[in-house]
Homo-oligomer: A and B are copies of this chain.
Amino acid sequence: MAEGVQLTQVDSGARYEVFHTDCPARDVVGHVTSRWGIWVLISLQGNDLRFYELRESIQGVSEKMLAQSLRALVADGLVWRRVEPATPPQVTYGLTEFGREVGEPLTELFGRITRRLSPRDAR
């Protein structure tokens, strides 16, 4: 929505940044910081996981939303998806290099918030 061309035509003296609506990064940021996307990326930081492992790892996510989030992250090039042709089928997800790059600040973010909220529990 609001796809109008929006240039950074700020008066040169402006002291604040402008985030234009058509910035392509906004979509990716949206997916990354989506309700479940962030947990997917953090979960996959440690190791590759299968679909059901992700579902069990991320408390409260529904299969629908997990699949949807994964699709968006794969499309953005943050997550890869490998299908093992077996019965029962096996699908594994993992981070691409871009995904690791992005997951790192997210993990840091989560860590800082957790530490601040429960100083004694976070060690």
A interface with B by C-beta (< 8 Å) = 2, 6, 15-21, 24-25, 28-30, 32-35, 38-39, 42-43, 46-47, 49, 53-54, 56-60, 98, 101-102, 105-106, 108-110, 112-114, 116-118
Query: What distance in Å separates the Cβ of A102 from its nearest Cβ neighbour in chain B?
Result: 6
Q: A24-B117, A33-B33 are in contact. Are A57 and B19 (CB under 8 A)?
A: yes
Pick the residue among B15, B59, B105 that contacts A106 (CB under 8 A): B105
Interface SS majority for chain A: helix
Oligomeric state, in copies: 2
Q: Which of B19, B47, B114 contacts A15 (CB 8 A)?
A: B47
What B residues does A38 contact at CB under 8 A?
29, 33
- Could you write out 18 A-B pairs with CB less than 8 Å apart? A2-B60, A16-B46, A16-B47, A16-B56, A17-B43, A17-B57, A19-B42, A20-B59, A24-B117, A25-B110, A25-B117, A25-B118, A28-B117, A29-B109, A32-B109, A102-B113, A105-B106, A108-B108
Question: How many angstroms between the C-alpha atoms of A15 and B56 in the bound complex?
Answer: 11
What is the CA–CA distance of A60 and B34 in the complex, to the nearest angstrom? 18
Which residues of chain B have C-beta atoms less than 8 A from A35's C-beta?
30
